[in-house]
Every structure is written in C-alpha cells, then in structure tokens.
C-alpha cells in the first residue's frame, strides 16, 4: 500500500487555527482519504501495488477531487472517505501523464467545501505553508516551509521544471494538499525525498507538484480525460543518474525500450546528436523527437562498447487499463 506512514506529526508541527491567516478547519475538511483497488494484471500492479491509499483535495462543489496520479492509475474500485469516516464511491476521470495529477469524481454527494486553487508561482522560498493529508482518524496537518523551488526528474520518465519542496516532511504525502498562506491550494504531494540543507546534512522533505501545472489544462482534462494534444513519446525505462551519466536501471517488460533490446546497466550516451548527462537532458531530447510513435535513436554504452539502438516509442496511456465505472 502506498504511503504507509512511518511517523506521526509532532504536536509542535501541527498548525493551530490562530497561527494561520485562513479558516484552517474549513480547509482541512476539503482534504479526503482515497482508497483504490487495481487488478492483478494491470500494467502498474507490480510497481505500485494492487491496493493503494493516499489523499485528495475537493476542488469543486460537485465532488471533483484532485489527487496524485499513481494512487488511481488503472484503478477499478475507488472510494473517497471524508473526515467523518463516510465512504463515497468515486471514479477516476482524468490522469495527466505530464504533471502527474489525477481527477476523481465522487459518485455521490460529498457535502464538503471546495478548496480554492491558488498560484504556486506566487509562493516564495521560505514562506510558511500547511500540508494536509490522510483521512478520518489518520488525517494530519503539518506546518512547513518551502525550502526549494527547482526542477525535478523522476526515474519513470517524468520531469517538471519547478517542483515545490517543503520541510518538515508530512508522513502521508501522496495526494496531500499543500496550502499556501492565503488558504488556497498551491500543490499536491507526490514524494518523500532527502535533500541537502547546504551544511553537509540531509533533511526529509516532500516534493509537491505545483498547482500552476493544472490550471491551464483543467478544462481539457475534464473534457477529454487527458491533454488535448498528441502524447509524448514514452520508452518504458527506469533510469538513474550516476557520476554524471544516465544509467538504465530497468525496462518495462512489454515496453518499447525492452522490445528494442535496451536493458539494465546500459549507459545512455546520446539521443540523436545531443550528449546526455542528466535525466532532464535525456527526457527533453526524447520528447523533442516528436509525438508518441516517433522513432528515438539512442546511443548507449554496454560492456565498454558504444552502439546505437532505435526505439519505436509508444503512448504510455496505451499500455494502461482504462478506468471502469463502479
């Protein structure tokens, strides 16, 4: 199960209504718990599990819930649980592969307030925020600060230009709501990572996807279930950075890269005529080759020998189960 908590939020980190400049109790009522079940033969069942749990945020009065995509990708059964422990069936209606956001529609009345969307660009490093996640008796709010706004590249062919990093970390980060000083939603929790504090120490932080990636495409996602444009090329690779090189850690068994012969341990040297040193380099070059279906020429180093591999890219969504109504 995703986001199994490893610690509790200390009392000193829990916000009090008088310490924030907005109606804290009302804002926290907008945060719900999400539970999802995924079939055993789903593409993501092996990596993300069949039973998933996390948080979401009600963003419209009709029961539209914003969450992080990995919680509900390929899910057949989804329930939304409010602060009173009431469970309402729900249905994933959109997943945005570029940002990582997902939209879930409750199939009954939630009778919960919607949290207004803010502007993540307006928040500065050092500013106070509240991160809220969980549900029912396992709902926690944590006072935090923005410690960084910087690009983030994930091993699963994911990159955003200005992720929000906050500390201290919240124990139930997946789908948690990141609330700005004005009480508006500025991000959705995605990961727990460790980050250097610049003094030779590391600290636990959360990476949140900024809400500014949602607002321009929200209407498209509601109408089409995805962005209304050709999908990016997807390779089906899991990669990492090591010593200034990009190394393939694994390849999805039925994905395009595995079909082309790429395998664990291969070093990505270049894409087309561009040298690759970071994951961001790698993804940007692949995505610049065209839409899903484009052939991607990749130079790799294997056993100290250089060779070129041409990968017929795919649409990531085409490998996933489509949502099914409860």
Cβ atoms within 10 Å of 288's Cβ, excluding its own: 14
- Summarize the confidence of residues 27-35 as an average pLDDT: 94
pLDDT per residue as tens digits for the range 163-182: 999 999 998 899 999 999 99
pLDDT at 215: 97
Poorest-pLDDT segment among 11-25, 167-181, 204-218, 233-247: 11-25
Q: Which residues of 228-256 are buried (b: 16+ CB within 10 A; e: fewer)?
A: eeebbbbbbbbbebeeeebbbebbbeebb
Q: What is the pLDDT of residue 197?
A: 66
pLDDT band at 4 (very low <50, low <70, confident <90, very high): very low
Contact between residue 226 and residue 101 where contact means Cβ atoms under 8 Å apart:
no
Q: Nearest to residue 254, comparing CAs of 37, 47, 36?
A: 47
> What is the fold, at CATH topology level, of the domain defined by 18-114?
Thrombin, subunit H (2.40.10)
Q: Once rounded to an integer, what is the mean pLDDT over residues 42-52?
A: 95
Q: Which helix (H) or strand (E) holds 279?
A: helix 279-287
What pLDDT score does 326 carry?
46
With contact defined as beta carbons under 8 Å apart, do 86 and 111 qualify? Answer: no
Instruction: Render pLDDT for 247-306 as a digit per residue (tens, 0 to 9).
Output: 999 999 999 999 999 999 999 999 998 999 999 999 999 999 999 999 999 999 999 999
Q: Are 298 and 287 in contact (CB under 8 A)?
A: no
Listed range (14-18, 76-80, 277-281, 310-314) with the worst mean pLDDT: 14-18
Specify the pTM.
0.93
| Domains of the chain, residue spans | 18-114, 116-218, 237-319
Query: What is the predicted pLDDT for the residue at 324?
Result: 58
pLDDT in tens, 55-96: 999 999 999 999 999 999 999 999 999 988 899 999 999 999
Q: What is the mean pLDDT of the chain?
A: 92
DSSP-derived 3-state class of residue 155: coil
Q: Where is average pLDDT lowest: 43-47, 195-199, 244-248, 298-302?
A: 195-199
For the segment(s) 116-218, the CATH number from 3.40.50.720, 2.40.10.10, 3.40.50.10210, 2.40.160.20 is 2.40.10.10
Work out the pLDDT band at 6, boundaries 50, 70, 90. Answer: very low
Indicate the Cα dihedral angle 212, 213, 219, 225, nearest 10°: -150
CB of 131 within 8 A of CB of 192?
no
For the cut 80, the answer to whether the pLDDT of residue 323 exceeds it is no
Q: Give the residue-averaged pLDDT of 301-313.
A: 97
Task: Check if the beta carbon of residue 268 is closer than 8 Å to that of residue 251.
Answer: no
Rama region for 122: left / alpha / beta (φ>0; ψ in -120 to 50; rest) = alpha
Query: Is 217 a residue whose pLDDT tops 90?
Result: yes
Do the domains 18-114 and 116-218 sit in the same CATH topology, yes or no?
yes
Class of domain 237-319: mainly beta
Band (pLDDT 50/70/90 cuts) for residue 145 is very high
């Amino acid at each position: 199960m995703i986001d199994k908590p490893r610690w509790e939020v200390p009392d000193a980190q829990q916000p009090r209504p008088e310490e924030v400049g907005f109606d804290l109790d009302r804002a926290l009522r907008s945060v719900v718990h999400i539970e999802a079940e995924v079939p055993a033969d789903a593409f993501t069942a092996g990596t993300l599990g069949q039973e998933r749990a996390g948080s979401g945020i009600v963003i419209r009065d009709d029961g539209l819930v914003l969450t992080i995509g990995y919680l509900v990708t390929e899910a057949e059964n989804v329930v939304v649980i409010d602060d009173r422990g009431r469970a309402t069936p729900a249905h994933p209606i959109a997943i945005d592969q570029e940002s990582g956001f997902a939209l879930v529609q409750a199939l009954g009345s939630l009778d919960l307030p919607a949290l207004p969307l803010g502007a993540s660009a307006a928040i500065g490093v050092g500013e106070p925020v509240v991160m809220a996640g969980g549900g029912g008796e396992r709902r926690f709010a944590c006072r935090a600060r923005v410690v960084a706004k910087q690009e983030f590249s994930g091993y699963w062919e994911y990159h955003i230009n200005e992720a929000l990093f906050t500390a201290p970390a919240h124990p139930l980060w997946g789908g948690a709501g990141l609330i700005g000083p004005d009480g508006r939603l500025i991000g959705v929790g995605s990961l727990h990572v460790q980050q250097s504090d610049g003094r030779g120490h590391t600290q636990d932080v959360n990476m949140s996807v900024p809400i500014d990636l949602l607002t321009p495409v929200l209407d498209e996602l509601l109408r089409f279930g995805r962005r209304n444009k050709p999908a990016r090329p997807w390779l089906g690779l899991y990669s990492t950075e090591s010593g200034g090189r990009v190394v393939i850690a694994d390849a999805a068994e039925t994905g395009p890269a595995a079909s082309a012969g790429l395998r664990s341990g291969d070093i990505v040297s270049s894409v087309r005529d561009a040298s690759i040193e970071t994951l961001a380099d790698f993804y940007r070059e692949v995505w610049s080759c065209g839409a899903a279906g484009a052939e991607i020429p990749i130079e790799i180093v294997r056993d100290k020998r250089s060779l070129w591999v041409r990968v017929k890219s795919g649409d990531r969504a085409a490998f996933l189960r489509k949502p099914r109504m409860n």
